Structure 1
């Protein structure tokens, strides 16, 4: 395996754009945190979302992971306004229509306690007398603002969104604004994942 490729995991803070070019003076970009040249994010997180970004200069890997045809798991902790009922959770799992598009089946779980995540700066705006809940959602696609649009479609607006995993890669050990290199075992699993993308058994396993 060529060693000039770089593979980084970054914990993107709230309010940071998933790009290196600065097109607004008021928002930070990846350049404010990462000085490695010529790496680019695989996919993106919206400026108001937090969590895991994978960056690399490996064009083939970037293509495979970004192409919808090679759908891979993306897992999120989602804080929503009010407590979703079983009907709303089932709709999210089976797929909802957002902008004339029906989302793929997803895994959705109402968490019994809050996930352990750093405080957000600035904190979310709570509404008095309106409870909130945390969901764990795993998708195999990444449409623009998809999670937020999905929860809004079933009547539970997203207040905070943290991506904690991309396939087998996790936030573990990182704080907002920190990055690290992939380990050799993480990288091997990632290459195995993408090399098997054409296998029907792997594609079937995405939704199990």
Structure 2
């Protein structure tokens, strides 16, 4: 039976079950939260990012979820430095030129600060005279650190990045470190 584990990866947790020998015991990994043998991450989420990570016990399903050919949309909630404007949002929507090429068009909209969001530990750095704003961004590709590079390229560096969904799977009400299991026939 195929299973998918929806996991809300906390900030500063490595997206793997083991750490390099030199850091052993110094950094949290998936093993600190998930004790299910035979489950592997379907895709990645950077250590400094939070939110939805899918794990599965089915190799074919893992490949289908993480393979860029399938273009599963991924939606993020992004806190950026500065008051993002319509020009920057339009750039994100059209595609942004990065060093490794032009990104695909994205869905991007400014949103109100989420009232439901958990506190991050440690909190983001805040500057007294520079406001922050929130963007909901949906992409259909997965270049390395893509969302962070996209927002920086349009002049609004990412301060906090939370993945809300991958395809049909959503984080919903999972708190950081929590997971829920879905079974398939």
Give your verdict on TM over 0.5: yes
In the TM superposition, 1:150-161 aligns within 5 A as 150-161=150-161
Query: Which residue does 1:103 correspond to in 2?
Result: 103
Alpha-carbon distance in structure 2 between the residues aligned to 1:138 and 1:115: 20
Q: Which runs of 4+ in 1 moved over 4 A?
A: none
RCO (CA 8 Å, sep 6+): is it higher in 1 or 2? 2
Alpha-carbon distance in structure 2 between the residues aligned to 1:49 and 1:91: 23
Query: Which residue does 2:147 correspond to in 1?
Result: 147
Question: How big is the alpha-carbon RMSD for the aligned residues of Structure 1 and Structure 2?
Answer: 1.3
> Which residue of the other structure, out of 7, 10, 25, is the alignment partner of 2:7?
10
Q: CA deviation at 1:85?
A: 1.1
Query: Which residue does 1:118 correspond to in 2?
Result: 118
Change (3 A) 1:114 1:96: same
- Whose strand proportion is higher, 1 or 2? 2
Query: Which residue does 1:193 correspond to in 2?
Result: none
Query: Which residue does 2:16 correspond to in 1?
Result: 19
Change (3 A) 1:103 1:143: same
- Whose helix proportion is higher, 1 or 2? 1
SS of 1:79's equivalent? strand
The answer (yes or no) to whether the contact 1:96–1:150 under 8 Å persists in 2 is yes
SS of 2:75's equivalent? strand
Q: TM-score, normalised by structure 1?
A: 0.84
Alpha-carbon distance in structure 1 between the residues aligned to 2:58 and 2:148: 30
- Where in structure 2 are there 5+ consecutive unaligned residues? none
Q: CA deviation at 1:116?
A: 2.1
Q: CA deviation at 1:6?
A: 2.6
Q: TM-score, normalised by structure 2?
A: 0.94
In the TM superposition, 1:3-152 aligns within 5 A as 3=1, 5-23=2-20, 24-25=23-24, 26-114=26-114, 116-152=116-152
The answer (yes or no) to whether the contact 1:19–1:29 under 8 Å persists in 2 is yes
Alpha-carbon distance in structure 2 between the residues aligned to 1:124 and 1:132: 11
Q: CA deviation at 1:65?
A: 1.7
